[in-house]
Amino acid sequence: MLEYAIAIVTFTAIYAVVALGLNLQWGETGLVNLGQVGFMAIGAYTSALLALAGWPFWFAIPAAAAAAGASSVLLVAVTPRLREDYLAIVTLGFSEAIRLVLLNEAWIGGGARGLVDLPQPLRGVVPDGAYTAAYAALTVAALAVTGWVFSRITRAPIGRLLRAVREDEVVPQAVGKSVLRLKAQAFVLGAAAAGLGGSLYVHYLRYIAPEMFTAQVSVFVLVAVLAAGGGSHARTVLGAVVVAVILEGTRFLKDYLPGIDGVQLAALRLMVIGAALVALCLWRPEAMARREAP
Amino acid sequence: MDLLAQYALYGLVSASILALPASALTLVYGLLHYPNFAIAELVMVGAYVAVALQVVGVPLPLAVGGAGLLVGALATGLDQGLFRRVRRYGPLPPLLMSIGVMFILQNAVRFVAGNRMRAFDLPVLRPLEVLGLRIGPYQLVMVGVSVVLLVVGHLLLARTRIGKAIRATADNPEVALASGIDAERVARIVWFATGILAGVAGGLLALETVVSPLMGWNLLLPVFAVAVLGGLGSLSGALVGALIVGLAQEWSTLLLPATYKNLVAFVILAAILLWRPSGLLGRARPSGR
Protein backbone atom coordinates (compact mmCIF):
# COMPACT_ATOMS: atom_id res chain seq x y z
CA MET A 1 0.00 0.00 0.00
CA LEU A 2 2.84 2.36 0.84
CA GLU A 3 4.55 1.43 -2.41
CA TYR A 4 1.32 2.21 -4.23
CA ALA A 5 1.10 5.64 -2.60
CA ILE A 6 4.73 6.33 -3.49
CA ALA A 7 4.05 5.34 -7.09
CA ILE A 8 1.09 7.71 -7.27
CA VAL A 9 3.20 10.56 -5.87
CA THR A 10 5.85 9.85 -8.51
CA PHE A 11 3.38 9.78 -11.42
CA THR A 12 1.59 12.87 -10.12
CA ALA A 13 4.80 14.87 -9.88
CA ILE A 14 5.80 13.85 -13.40
CA TYR A 15 2.40 14.76 -14.86
CA ALA A 16 2.54 18.04 -12.95
CA VAL A 17 5.94 18.98 -14.43
CA VAL A 18 4.61 18.39 -17.96
CA ALA A 19 1.37 20.21 -17.13
CA LEU A 20 3.30 23.24 -15.82
CA GLY A 21 5.00 23.35 -19.20
CA LEU A 22 1.68 23.34 -21.04
CA ASN A 23 0.32 25.93 -18.64
CA LEU A 24 3.15 28.30 -19.51
CA GLN A 25 2.42 27.84 -23.22
CA TRP A 26 -1.32 27.83 -23.06
CA GLY A 27 -2.53 29.25 -19.78
CA GLU A 28 -0.07 32.14 -19.77
CA THR A 29 0.64 32.78 -23.43
CA GLY A 30 -2.42 31.35 -25.19
CA LEU A 31 -0.47 28.98 -27.42
CA VAL A 32 -2.43 25.84 -28.20
CA ASN A 33 -0.28 22.73 -27.90
CA LEU A 34 -1.83 19.31 -28.29
CA GLY A 35 1.56 17.67 -28.81
CA GLN A 36 3.15 17.91 -25.40
CA VAL A 37 3.77 14.13 -25.50
CA GLY A 38 6.06 14.60 -28.50
CA PHE A 39 8.42 16.72 -26.39
CA MET A 40 8.18 14.17 -23.57
CA ALA A 41 9.28 11.51 -26.05
CA ILE A 42 12.20 13.58 -27.30
CA GLY A 43 13.38 14.22 -23.74
CA ALA A 44 12.85 10.61 -22.69
CA TYR A 45 14.79 9.13 -25.60
CA THR A 46 17.56 11.70 -25.19
CA SER A 47 18.26 10.88 -21.57
CA ALA A 48 17.67 7.14 -22.02
CA LEU A 49 20.21 6.95 -24.85
CA LEU A 50 22.71 9.17 -23.03
CA ALA A 51 22.38 7.15 -19.82
CA LEU A 52 22.77 3.86 -21.69
CA ALA A 53 25.90 5.28 -23.31
CA GLY A 54 27.32 5.89 -19.86
CA TRP A 55 26.73 9.60 -19.40
CA PRO A 56 25.99 10.68 -15.82
CA PHE A 57 22.47 11.79 -14.91
CA TRP A 58 23.43 15.33 -13.98
CA PHE A 59 24.17 15.69 -17.66
CA ALA A 60 21.56 13.37 -19.22
CA ILE A 61 18.46 14.82 -17.54
CA PRO A 62 19.20 18.50 -18.29
CA ALA A 63 20.14 17.40 -21.80
CA ALA A 64 16.69 15.83 -22.11
CA ALA A 65 15.03 19.14 -21.26
CA ALA A 66 17.38 21.00 -23.61
CA ALA A 67 16.72 18.63 -26.53
CA ALA A 68 12.97 18.90 -26.11
CA GLY A 69 13.17 22.68 -25.87
CA ALA A 70 15.42 22.91 -28.92
CA SER A 71 13.13 20.73 -30.99
CA SER A 72 10.20 22.99 -30.19
CA VAL A 73 12.04 25.92 -31.76
CA LEU A 74 11.60 24.09 -35.04
CA LEU A 75 7.85 23.92 -34.53
CA VAL A 76 7.58 27.58 -33.57
CA ALA A 77 9.71 28.58 -36.54
CA VAL A 78 7.41 26.91 -39.05
CA THR A 79 4.12 27.88 -37.43
CA PRO A 80 4.53 31.51 -36.44
CA ARG A 81 1.20 32.84 -37.64
CA LEU A 82 -1.03 29.82 -37.47
CA ARG A 83 -4.44 30.28 -35.94
CA GLU A 84 -5.28 28.23 -32.89
CA ASP A 85 -7.32 25.56 -34.67
CA TYR A 86 -4.51 24.93 -37.16
CA LEU A 87 -1.93 25.00 -34.38
CA ALA A 88 -3.95 22.30 -32.60
CA ILE A 89 -3.78 19.88 -35.51
CA VAL A 90 -0.13 20.67 -36.31
CA THR A 91 1.06 20.08 -32.75
CA LEU A 92 -0.99 16.89 -32.50
CA GLY A 93 0.38 15.71 -35.84
CA PHE A 94 3.92 16.64 -34.81
CA SER A 95 3.80 14.40 -31.75
CA GLU A 96 2.33 11.57 -33.81
CA ALA A 97 5.10 12.05 -36.37
CA ILE A 98 7.70 11.73 -33.60
CA ARG A 99 6.06 8.50 -32.43
CA LEU A 100 5.98 7.08 -35.97
CA VAL A 101 9.66 7.84 -36.49
CA LEU A 102 10.60 6.19 -33.17
CA LEU A 103 8.45 3.21 -34.09
CA ASN A 104 10.00 2.72 -37.51
CA GLU A 105 13.61 3.71 -36.99
CA ALA A 106 14.83 0.83 -34.86
CA TRP A 107 18.37 2.23 -34.87
CA ILE A 108 17.29 5.12 -32.64
CA GLY A 109 15.71 3.30 -29.76
CA GLY A 110 14.94 -0.29 -30.72
CA GLY A 111 11.72 0.48 -32.62
CA ALA A 112 8.52 -0.99 -31.25
CA ARG A 113 10.38 -3.19 -28.77
CA GLY A 114 11.98 -0.17 -27.19
CA LEU A 115 14.87 -0.26 -24.76
CA VAL A 116 14.90 -2.06 -21.43
CA ASP A 117 17.04 -1.99 -18.29
CA LEU A 118 17.57 1.75 -18.39
CA PRO A 119 19.98 3.03 -15.75
CA GLN A 120 18.39 4.89 -12.84
CA PRO A 121 19.64 7.99 -11.06
CA LEU A 122 20.62 7.57 -7.38
CA ARG A 123 20.76 3.80 -7.86
CA GLY A 124 23.47 2.51 -5.50
CA VAL A 125 23.53 5.83 -3.66
CA VAL A 126 20.38 5.11 -1.66
CA PRO A 127 19.63 1.63 -0.26
CA ASP A 128 17.44 -0.47 -2.57
CA GLY A 129 14.67 -0.69 0.04
CA ALA A 130 14.23 3.09 0.01
CA TYR A 131 14.79 3.56 -3.70
CA THR A 132 11.20 4.19 -4.82
CA ALA A 133 10.77 6.76 -2.05
CA ALA A 134 14.00 8.44 -3.10
CA TYR A 135 12.84 8.53 -6.71
CA ALA A 136 9.52 10.02 -5.65
CA ALA A 137 11.47 12.68 -3.75
CA LEU A 138 13.54 13.33 -6.87
CA THR A 139 10.42 13.88 -9.01
CA VAL A 140 8.89 16.14 -6.35
CA ALA A 141 12.14 18.09 -6.28
CA ALA A 142 12.03 18.40 -10.08
CA LEU A 143 8.46 19.66 -9.77
CA ALA A 144 9.47 22.18 -7.12
CA VAL A 145 12.32 23.52 -9.24
CA THR A 146 10.09 23.73 -12.34
CA GLY A 147 7.35 25.46 -10.38
CA TRP A 148 9.81 27.90 -8.82
CA VAL A 149 11.45 28.79 -12.15
CA PHE A 150 8.11 29.19 -13.92
CA SER A 151 6.59 31.33 -11.19
CA ARG A 152 9.70 33.54 -11.24
CA ILE A 153 9.22 33.91 -14.99
CA THR A 154 5.54 34.71 -14.85
CA ARG A 155 6.05 37.27 -12.09
CA ALA A 156 8.88 38.94 -13.99
CA PRO A 157 8.22 41.56 -16.69
CA ILE A 158 8.38 38.83 -19.32
CA GLY A 159 5.41 37.13 -17.67
CA ARG A 160 3.32 40.22 -18.22
CA LEU A 161 4.43 40.28 -21.82
CA LEU A 162 3.45 36.64 -22.29
CA ARG A 163 0.00 37.36 -20.91
CA ALA A 164 -0.19 40.36 -23.19
CA VAL A 165 0.44 38.03 -26.15
CA ARG A 166 -2.48 35.94 -24.97
CA GLU A 167 -4.83 38.89 -24.59
CA ASP A 168 -3.98 40.76 -27.71
CA GLU A 169 -0.92 40.41 -29.91
CA VAL A 170 -1.01 44.03 -30.98
CA VAL A 171 -0.16 45.32 -27.52
CA PRO A 172 3.33 43.81 -27.12
CA GLN A 173 4.03 44.79 -30.73
CA ALA A 174 3.06 48.35 -29.97
CA VAL A 175 5.66 48.57 -27.21
CA GLY A 176 8.32 47.19 -29.52
CA LYS A 177 8.44 43.56 -28.39
CA SER A 178 8.69 40.71 -30.85
CA VAL A 179 5.59 38.55 -30.45
CA LEU A 180 7.28 35.70 -32.28
CA ARG A 181 10.20 35.80 -29.88
CA LEU A 182 7.91 35.80 -26.86
CA LYS A 183 5.89 32.89 -28.24
CA ALA A 184 9.09 30.98 -28.95
CA GLN A 185 10.36 31.56 -25.41
CA ALA A 186 7.15 30.27 -23.85
CA PHE A 187 7.02 27.33 -26.21
CA VAL A 188 10.63 26.32 -25.61
CA LEU A 189 10.35 26.52 -21.83
CA GLY A 190 7.11 24.53 -21.85
CA ALA A 191 8.59 21.88 -24.14
CA ALA A 192 11.70 21.67 -21.94
CA ALA A 193 9.47 20.89 -18.95
CA ALA A 194 7.84 18.13 -21.01
CA GLY A 195 11.28 16.76 -21.87
CA LEU A 196 12.20 16.73 -18.18
CA GLY A 197 8.97 14.93 -17.33
CA GLY A 198 9.47 12.37 -20.10
CA SER A 199 12.97 11.67 -18.89
CA LEU A 200 11.86 11.17 -15.27
CA TYR A 201 9.05 8.91 -16.49
CA VAL A 202 11.19 6.39 -18.36
CA HIS A 203 13.99 6.18 -15.82
CA TYR A 204 11.35 5.43 -13.22
CA LEU A 205 9.81 2.62 -15.29
CA ARG A 206 13.29 1.53 -16.52
CA TYR A 207 12.09 0.97 -20.04
CA ILE A 208 11.15 3.10 -23.01
CA ALA A 209 8.99 2.38 -26.06
CA PRO A 210 7.07 4.50 -28.58
CA GLU A 211 3.73 3.16 -27.31
CA MET A 212 4.25 5.14 -24.09
CA PHE A 213 4.02 8.38 -26.06
CA THR A 214 0.63 8.29 -27.76
CA ALA A 215 -1.51 11.40 -28.09
CA GLN A 216 -3.55 10.25 -25.12
CA VAL A 217 -0.86 11.56 -22.80
CA SER A 218 -1.13 15.04 -24.31
CA VAL A 219 -4.84 14.95 -23.56
CA PHE A 220 -4.23 13.89 -19.94
CA VAL A 221 -1.98 16.91 -19.51
CA LEU A 222 -4.46 19.13 -21.33
CA VAL A 223 -7.23 18.10 -18.95
CA ALA A 224 -5.00 18.87 -15.97
CA VAL A 225 -4.33 22.39 -17.28
CA LEU A 226 -7.94 23.07 -18.25
CA ALA A 227 -9.18 21.79 -14.91
CA ALA A 228 -6.93 24.38 -13.30
CA GLY A 229 -8.47 27.09 -15.47
CA GLY A 230 -5.14 28.18 -16.93
CA GLY A 231 -2.68 30.60 -15.46
CA SER A 232 -2.08 29.49 -11.90
CA HIS A 233 0.88 27.19 -11.27
CA ALA A 234 -0.43 25.86 -7.96
CA ARG A 235 -3.82 25.03 -9.39
CA THR A 236 -2.19 23.36 -12.40
CA VAL A 237 -0.38 21.03 -10.00
CA LEU A 238 -3.72 20.32 -8.36
CA GLY A 239 -5.19 19.55 -11.79
CA ALA A 240 -2.36 17.08 -12.38
CA VAL A 241 -3.15 15.43 -9.03
CA VAL A 242 -6.77 14.91 -10.10
CA VAL A 243 -5.76 13.44 -13.47
CA ALA A 244 -3.10 11.18 -11.94
CA VAL A 245 -5.58 9.89 -9.37
CA ILE A 246 -8.12 9.10 -12.12
CA LEU A 247 -5.45 7.31 -14.14
CA GLU A 248 -3.27 5.62 -11.56
CA GLY A 249 -5.44 5.63 -8.48
CA THR A 250 -8.15 3.44 -9.97
CA ARG A 251 -6.07 0.30 -10.55
CA PHE A 252 -7.44 -1.35 -7.42
CA LEU A 253 -11.04 -0.82 -8.61
CA LYS A 254 -10.77 -3.97 -10.69
CA ASP A 255 -11.15 -6.06 -7.53
CA TYR A 256 -14.38 -4.29 -6.66
CA LEU A 257 -16.01 -4.31 -10.08
CA PRO A 258 -16.90 -7.88 -10.93
CA GLY A 259 -17.46 -8.63 -14.60
CA ILE A 260 -15.13 -5.89 -15.80
CA ASP A 261 -11.81 -7.00 -17.23
CA GLY A 262 -8.57 -5.06 -17.55
CA VAL A 263 -9.30 -3.74 -21.05
CA GLN A 264 -12.72 -2.51 -19.97
CA LEU A 265 -11.36 -0.80 -16.87
CA ALA A 266 -8.71 0.94 -18.97
CA ALA A 267 -11.40 1.99 -21.47
CA LEU A 268 -13.60 3.25 -18.66
CA ARG A 269 -10.76 5.32 -17.24
CA LEU A 270 -10.16 6.99 -20.61
CA MET A 271 -13.89 7.62 -21.00
CA VAL A 272 -13.80 9.45 -17.67
CA ILE A 273 -10.94 11.63 -18.98
CA GLY A 274 -12.87 12.31 -22.18
CA ALA A 275 -16.01 13.13 -20.22
CA ALA A 276 -13.99 15.44 -17.96
CA LEU A 277 -12.73 17.30 -21.03
CA VAL A 278 -16.27 17.64 -22.41
CA ALA A 279 -17.56 18.77 -19.02
CA LEU A 280 -14.79 21.38 -18.69
CA CYS A 281 -15.70 22.75 -22.11
CA LEU A 282 -19.38 22.98 -21.14
CA TRP A 283 -18.63 24.45 -17.76
CA ARG A 284 -16.16 27.18 -18.67
CA PRO A 285 -16.03 27.68 -22.42
CA GLU A 286 -15.14 31.34 -22.07
CA ALA A 287 -12.02 30.48 -20.06
CA MET A 288 -10.45 28.63 -22.97
CA ALA A 289 -11.52 31.00 -25.69
CA ARG A 290 -9.15 33.86 -26.36
CA ARG A 291 -10.11 37.07 -24.68
CA GLU A 292 -10.58 38.97 -27.91
CA ALA A 293 -13.54 37.85 -29.95
CA PRO A 294 -12.40 35.38 -32.62
CA MET B 1 5.78 2.05 -64.43
CA ASP B 2 3.25 -0.74 -63.99
CA LEU B 3 3.89 -0.57 -60.29
CA LEU B 4 3.29 3.18 -60.29
CA ALA B 5 -0.01 2.71 -62.10
CA GLN B 6 -1.06 -0.12 -59.79
CA TYR B 7 -0.35 2.00 -56.73
CA ALA B 8 -2.11 4.94 -58.32
CA LEU B 9 -5.19 2.72 -58.47
CA TYR B 10 -4.78 1.87 -54.77
CA GLY B 11 -4.41 5.59 -54.20
CA LEU B 12 -7.76 6.15 -55.87
CA VAL B 13 -9.33 3.61 -53.53
CA SER B 14 -7.82 5.36 -50.47
CA ALA B 15 -8.93 8.71 -51.84
CA SER B 16 -12.51 7.49 -52.20
CA ILE B 17 -12.57 6.64 -48.49
CA LEU B 18 -10.72 9.76 -47.32
CA ALA B 19 -12.98 12.04 -49.35
CA LEU B 20 -16.07 11.15 -47.30
CA PRO B 21 -14.94 12.08 -43.76
CA ALA B 22 -12.86 14.96 -45.16
CA SER B 23 -16.00 16.35 -46.82
CA ALA B 24 -17.79 15.94 -43.52
CA LEU B 25 -15.02 17.78 -41.68
CA THR B 26 -14.96 20.57 -44.21
CA LEU B 27 -18.78 20.92 -44.25
CA VAL B 28 -18.93 21.53 -40.51
CA TYR B 29 -15.91 23.81 -40.69
CA GLY B 30 -17.40 25.82 -43.52
CA LEU B 31 -20.64 26.30 -41.63
CA LEU B 32 -19.62 26.51 -37.98
CA HIS B 33 -15.88 27.37 -38.19
CA TYR B 34 -14.34 24.73 -35.98
CA PRO B 35 -12.64 21.43 -36.84
CA ASN B 36 -14.33 18.33 -35.47
CA PHE B 37 -11.60 16.01 -34.20
CA ALA B 38 -14.16 13.30 -33.49
CA ILE B 39 -14.88 12.84 -37.22
CA ALA B 40 -12.51 9.88 -37.59
CA GLU B 41 -14.06 8.18 -34.56
CA LEU B 42 -17.47 8.52 -36.20
CA VAL B 43 -15.99 6.55 -39.10
CA MET B 44 -14.82 3.91 -36.63
CA VAL B 45 -18.27 3.71 -35.02
CA GLY B 46 -19.80 3.37 -38.49
CA ALA B 47 -17.48 0.45 -39.26
CA TYR B 48 -18.47 -1.34 -36.04
CA VAL B 49 -22.18 -0.76 -36.60
CA ALA B 50 -21.99 -2.03 -40.19
CA VAL B 51 -20.02 -5.13 -39.20
CA ALA B 52 -22.33 -5.86 -36.25
CA LEU B 53 -25.40 -5.57 -38.48
CA GLN B 54 -23.95 -7.68 -41.28
CA VAL B 55 -22.71 -10.43 -38.97
CA VAL B 56 -26.20 -10.94 -37.52
CA GLY B 57 -27.63 -11.36 -41.01
CA VAL B 58 -28.54 -7.91 -42.34
CA PRO B 59 -27.66 -7.73 -46.07
CA LEU B 60 -24.46 -5.78 -46.70
CA PRO B 61 -25.96 -2.72 -48.47
CA LEU B 62 -28.51 -2.30 -45.68
CA ALA B 63 -25.82 -2.76 -43.03
CA VAL B 64 -23.67 0.00 -44.55
CA GLY B 65 -26.69 2.26 -45.08
CA GLY B 66 -27.89 1.56 -41.55
CA ALA B 67 -24.45 2.51 -40.24
CA GLY B 68 -24.76 5.80 -42.12
CA LEU B 69 -28.17 6.62 -40.65
CA LEU B 70 -27.21 5.57 -37.13
CA VAL B 71 -24.00 7.58 -37.13
CA GLY B 72 -25.97 10.45 -38.67
CA ALA B 73 -28.31 10.36 -35.69
CA LEU B 74 -25.36 10.09 -33.31
CA ALA B 75 -23.63 13.08 -34.91
CA THR B 76 -26.79 15.19 -34.74
CA GLY B 77 -27.24 14.20 -31.12
CA LEU B 78 -23.65 15.16 -30.31
CA ASP B 79 -24.12 18.57 -31.90
CA GLN B 80 -27.44 19.25 -30.23
CA GLY B 81 -26.39 17.95 -26.84
CA LEU B 82 -22.81 19.22 -26.70
CA PHE B 83 -21.22 21.20 -29.51
CA ARG B 84 -24.12 23.62 -29.98
CA ARG B 85 -23.75 24.86 -26.42
CA VAL B 86 -20.20 26.15 -26.90
CA ARG B 87 -20.37 27.13 -30.55
CA ARG B 88 -20.44 30.86 -29.92
CA TYR B 89 -17.18 30.87 -27.93
CA GLY B 90 -14.92 30.60 -30.98
CA PRO B 91 -13.18 27.55 -32.40
CA LEU B 92 -11.32 26.33 -29.32
CA PRO B 93 -14.08 25.14 -26.95
CA PRO B 94 -15.88 23.00 -29.57
CA LEU B 95 -12.51 21.78 -30.86
CA LEU B 96 -11.41 20.62 -27.41
CA MET B 97 -14.84 19.18 -26.79
CA SER B 98 -14.53 17.12 -29.97
CA ILE B 99 -11.28 15.69 -28.60
CA GLY B 100 -13.14 14.64 -25.45
CA VAL B 101 -15.83 13.07 -27.63
CA MET B 102 -13.08 11.31 -29.59
CA PHE B 103 -11.85 9.73 -26.33
CA ILE B 104 -15.35 8.75 -25.27
CA LEU B 105 -16.33 7.15 -28.58
CA GLN B 106 -13.10 5.25 -29.02
CA ASN B 107 -13.20 3.84 -25.52
CA ALA B 108 -16.93 3.19 -25.44
CA VAL B 109 -16.42 0.93 -28.45
CA ARG B 110 -13.43 -0.67 -26.75
CA PHE B 111 -15.50 -1.20 -23.62
CA VAL B 112 -18.30 -2.91 -25.53
CA ALA B 113 -16.37 -4.77 -28.22
CA GLY B 114 -12.88 -5.20 -26.75
CA ASN B 115 -9.62 -4.81 -28.63
CA ARG B 116 -10.25 -7.85 -30.83
CA MET B 117 -10.21 -7.17 -34.57
CA ARG B 118 -13.48 -7.73 -36.39
CA ALA B 119 -14.50 -8.01 -40.01
CA PHE B 120 -17.50 -8.56 -42.26
CA ASP B 121 -18.57 -12.15 -42.77
CA LEU B 122 -17.92 -12.13 -46.52
CA PRO B 123 -16.36 -14.56 -48.99
CA VAL B 124 -12.89 -13.75 -50.27
CA LEU B 125 -13.13 -12.76 -53.93
CA ARG B 126 -10.39 -12.92 -56.52
CA PRO B 127 -9.13 -9.54 -57.71
CA LEU B 128 -10.19 -8.47 -61.19
CA GLU B 129 -7.66 -7.67 -63.88
CA VAL B 130 -8.33 -4.54 -65.91
CA LEU B 131 -5.72 -3.33 -68.41
CA GLY B 132 -3.06 -5.22 -66.51
CA LEU B 133 -4.01 -3.61 -63.20
CA ARG B 134 -5.53 -5.50 -60.31
CA ILE B 135 -8.44 -4.28 -58.23
CA GLY B 136 -10.51 -6.22 -55.71
CA PRO B 137 -14.28 -6.40 -56.28
CA TYR B 138 -14.86 -4.90 -52.83
CA GLN B 139 -12.52 -2.03 -53.69
CA LEU B 140 -14.61 -1.34 -56.77
CA VAL B 141 -17.69 -1.18 -54.55
CA MET B 142 -15.89 1.25 -52.21
CA VAL B 143 -15.00 3.61 -55.03
CA GLY B 144 -18.43 3.30 -56.65
CA VAL B 145 -20.46 3.97 -53.50
CA SER B 146 -18.20 6.82 -52.48
CA VAL B 147 -18.47 8.52 -55.87
CA VAL B 148 -22.26 8.14 -55.89
CA LEU B 149 -22.51 9.57 -52.38
CA LEU B 150 -20.27 12.53 -53.24
CA VAL B 151 -22.21 13.27 -56.43
CA VAL B 152 -25.55 13.09 -54.62
CA GLY B 153 -24.17 15.32 -51.87
CA HIS B 154 -22.94 17.80 -54.41
CA LEU B 155 -26.31 17.89 -56.19
CA LEU B 156 -28.17 18.33 -52.91
CA LEU B 157 -25.92 21.22 -52.03
CA ALA B 158 -26.04 22.81 -55.48
CA ARG B 159 -29.64 22.26 -56.56
CA THR B 160 -31.97 22.03 -53.58
CA ARG B 161 -33.50 24.65 -51.33
CA ILE B 162 -31.82 23.28 -48.25
CA GLY B 163 -28.51 23.12 -50.11
CA LYS B 164 -28.91 26.78 -50.94
CA ALA B 165 -29.72 27.51 -47.30
CA ILE B 166 -26.56 25.71 -46.18
CA ARG B 167 -24.39 27.62 -48.64
CA ALA B 168 -26.00 30.90 -47.73
CA THR B 169 -25.48 30.33 -44.00
CA ALA B 170 -21.87 29.30 -44.56
CA ASP B 171 -21.25 32.42 -46.64
CA ASN B 172 -22.85 34.90 -44.35
CA PRO B 173 -24.84 33.78 -41.30
CA GLU B 174 -26.30 37.23 -40.58
CA VAL B 175 -27.69 37.76 -44.06
CA ALA B 176 -28.97 34.17 -44.16
CA LEU B 177 -30.71 34.69 -40.84
CA ALA B 178 -32.18 37.94 -42.05
CA SER B 179 -33.63 36.22 -45.10
CA GLY B 180 -35.48 33.81 -42.87
CA ILE B 181 -33.19 30.78 -42.93
CA ASP B 182 -33.36 28.76 -39.73
CA ALA B 183 -29.66 28.48 -38.87
CA GLU B 184 -30.25 25.79 -36.26
CA ARG B 185 -32.09 23.62 -38.74
CA VAL B 186 -29.22 24.07 -41.20
CA ALA B 187 -26.74 23.02 -38.52
CA ARG B 188 -28.79 19.92 -37.66
CA ILE B 189 -28.98 18.88 -41.30
CA VAL B 190 -25.27 19.43 -41.88
CA TRP B 191 -24.41 17.38 -38.80
CA PHE B 192 -26.70 14.60 -39.92
CA ALA B 193 -25.04 14.63 -43.36
CA THR B 194 -21.66 14.58 -41.63
CA GLY B 195 -22.66 11.45 -39.75
CA ILE B 196 -23.95 9.74 -42.89
CA LEU B 197 -20.70 10.45 -44.73
CA ALA B 198 -18.61 9.20 -41.81
CA GLY B 199 -20.80 6.17 -41.08
CA VAL B 200 -20.87 5.01 -44.70
CA ALA B 201 -17.13 5.60 -44.97
CA GLY B 202 -16.70 3.29 -41.97
CA GLY B 203 -18.86 0.61 -43.53
CA LEU B 204 -16.92 0.86 -46.78
CA LEU B 205 -13.56 0.86 -45.06
CA ALA B 206 -14.53 -2.37 -43.27
CA LEU B 207 -14.79 -4.01 -46.69
CA GLU B 208 -11.07 -3.73 -47.08
CA THR B 209 -9.58 -3.71 -43.59
CA VAL B 210 -10.24 -5.29 -40.24
CA VAL B 211 -12.14 -3.16 -37.77
CA SER B 212 -10.47 -2.12 -34.51
CA PRO B 213 -10.95 0.68 -31.96
CA LEU B 214 -7.79 2.39 -33.24
CA MET B 215 -8.88 2.59 -36.88
CA GLY B 216 -10.40 6.02 -36.32
CA TRP B 217 -7.23 7.44 -34.80
CA ASN B 218 -5.20 6.08 -37.71
CA LEU B 219 -7.45 7.98 -40.09
CA LEU B 220 -7.29 11.33 -38.30
CA LEU B 221 -4.11 12.80 -39.78
CA PRO B 222 -4.89 11.81 -43.40
CA VAL B 223 -8.42 13.20 -43.11
CA PHE B 224 -7.13 16.50 -41.73
CA ALA B 225 -4.39 16.59 -44.36
CA VAL B 226 -7.05 16.19 -47.06
CA ALA B 227 -9.36 18.85 -45.65
CA VAL B 228 -6.58 21.39 -45.00
CA LEU B 229 -5.00 20.72 -48.38
CA GLY B 230 -8.31 21.42 -50.06
CA GLY B 231 -8.87 24.48 -47.92
CA LEU B 232 -11.08 23.88 -44.89
CA GLY B 233 -14.62 24.71 -45.94
CA SER B 234 -14.20 23.82 -49.60
CA LEU B 235 -15.93 20.63 -50.75
CA SER B 236 -14.34 20.47 -54.20
CA GLY B 237 -11.03 21.13 -52.45
CA ALA B 238 -11.61 18.07 -50.28
CA LEU B 239 -11.97 15.92 -53.39
CA VAL B 240 -8.74 17.19 -54.92
CA GLY B 241 -7.05 16.88 -51.52
CA ALA B 242 -8.25 13.29 -51.16
CA LEU B 243 -6.77 12.36 -54.52
CA ILE B 244 -3.43 13.99 -53.70
CA VAL B 245 -3.14 12.51 -50.21
CA GLY B 246 -4.41 9.08 -51.33
CA LEU B 247 -1.88 8.95 -54.17
CA ALA B 248 0.98 10.26 -52.04
CA GLN B 249 0.26 7.76 -49.29
CA GLU B 250 0.12 4.76 -51.61
CA TRP B 251 3.10 5.80 -53.70
CA SER B 252 5.11 6.40 -50.54
CA THR B 253 4.84 2.69 -49.74
CA LEU B 254 7.04 2.01 -52.76
CA LEU B 255 9.90 3.73 -50.95
CA LEU B 256 9.01 3.72 -47.24
CA PRO B 257 7.50 1.22 -44.82
CA ALA B 258 3.69 1.28 -44.96
CA THR B 259 3.63 2.41 -41.32
CA TYR B 260 4.96 5.77 -42.55
CA LYS B 261 1.74 6.51 -44.47
CA ASN B 262 0.50 8.79 -41.71
CA LEU B 263 3.85 10.57 -41.55
CA VAL B 264 3.41 11.34 -45.26
CA ALA B 265 -0.02 12.76 -44.47
CA PHE B 266 1.45 14.95 -41.72
CA VAL B 267 4.24 16.21 -43.96
CA ILE B 268 1.65 17.23 -46.57
CA LEU B 269 -0.41 18.92 -43.86
CA ALA B 270 2.55 20.83 -42.45
CA ALA B 271 3.85 21.79 -45.89
CA ILE B 272 0.51 23.16 -47.03
CA LEU B 273 0.10 25.19 -43.84
CA LEU B 274 3.54 26.68 -44.37
CA TRP B 275 3.04 27.43 -48.00
CA ARG B 276 -0.66 28.25 -48.35
CA PRO B 277 -2.57 28.24 -45.09
CA SER B 278 -5.90 28.56 -46.91
CA GLY B 279 -5.31 25.38 -48.92
CA LEU B 280 -5.06 24.75 -52.63
CA LEU B 281 -8.59 25.66 -53.61
CA GLY B 282 -9.60 27.49 -50.45
CA ARG B 283 -10.82 31.02 -50.56
CA ALA B 284 -9.28 33.51 -48.19
CA ARG B 285 -10.19 32.22 -44.78
CA PRO B 286 -13.31 33.54 -43.14
CA SER B 287 -11.45 35.88 -40.83
CA GLY B 288 -12.97 38.68 -38.87
CA ARG B 289 -15.95 36.57 -37.91
Q: What is the pLDDT of residues B226-254, one digit of tens each?
A: 999 988 888 888 999 999 999 999 999 99
- Tell me whether residue A135 is exposed, middle or buried, using C-beta atoms within 10 angstroms of its C-beta: 0 to 12, 13 to 18, 19 or more: buried
Return all residues near B258 (Cβ < 8 A) that are at least 6 apart: none
Q: Binning pLDDT at 50, 70 and 90, where does residue B287 land?
A: very low
Cβ-defined contact of A32 to B92 (cutoff 8 Å) = yes
A148/chain B closest Cα distance in angstroms? 29
Find the closest chain A residue to B29 by CA distance.
A85
Answer whether B202 touches A (CB < 8 Å).
Answer: no
- Range A217-236 average pLDDT: 89
Closest CA to B216 of B44, B35, B67, B56: B44
Q: Give pLDDT, residue A290.
A: 55
The answer to whether A278 contacts B266, with C-beta atoms less than 8 Å apart, is no
DSSP assignment string, B231-280: -TT-HHHHHHHHHHHHHHHHHHTTTS-GGGHHHHHHHHHHHHHHH-TT-S
Contacts with A276 from chain B: Cβ below 8 Å: 100
Instruction: Report chain A residues whose CB lies below 8 A from the CB of B217.
Output: 215
Higher pLDDT, A182 or B51: B51
- Mean pLDDT, to the nearest integer, of A118-143? 93
Is B99's Cβ below 8 Å from some Cβ in A?
yes
Contacts 24+ apart (CB under 8 A), B4-9: B4/B251, B4/B254, B5/B133, B6/B133, B6/B134, B7/B250, B7/B251, B7/B253, B7/B254, B8/B247, B8/B250, B8/B251, B9/B133, B9/B134, B9/B135
CA distance B193 to chain A (A): 23
* Structure confidence at residue A293 (pLDDT): 35
Q: Which of A82, A96, A267 sits opposite B107 (nearest CB)?
A: A267
Cα B8 from Cα B131, distance rounded (Å): 14
Q: Label residue B286 by pLDDT band (50, 70, 90).
A: very low
The answer to whether the predicted template modeling score (pTM) of the entire model surpasses 0.90 is yes
Other C-beta atoms within 10 Å of A77: how many? 10
Q: CB distance A226–B110 less than 8 Å?
A: no
Share of chain B above pLDDT 70, in %: 97
B contacts of A78 (beta carbons < 8 Å): 270, 274
- B89 touching A, CB under 8 A? yes
CB B269 to CB A90 under 8 A? yes
> What's the burial of A81, exposed, middle or buried (CB within 10 Å: 0-12/13-18/19+)?
exposed
Closest to A41 (Cα-Cα) out of A87, A102, A121, A92: A102
pLDDT at position A108 is: 93
Query: pLDDT tens digits for A173-209?
Result: 777 778 888 888 899 999 999 999 999 999 999 999 9
Among chain B residues, CA nearest to A75: B270
Q: Do B92 and A85 touch (CB under 8 A)?
A: yes
Residue B85 has its nearest CB partner, among A86, A274, A282, at A282
Per-residue confidence (pLDDT) for residue A289, from 0 to 100: 61
Q: Please state the three-class secondary structure of B19-78 as a single string.
A: HHHHHHHHHHHHHHCCCCCCHHHHHHHHHHHHHHHHHCCCCHHHHHHHHHHHHHHHHHHH
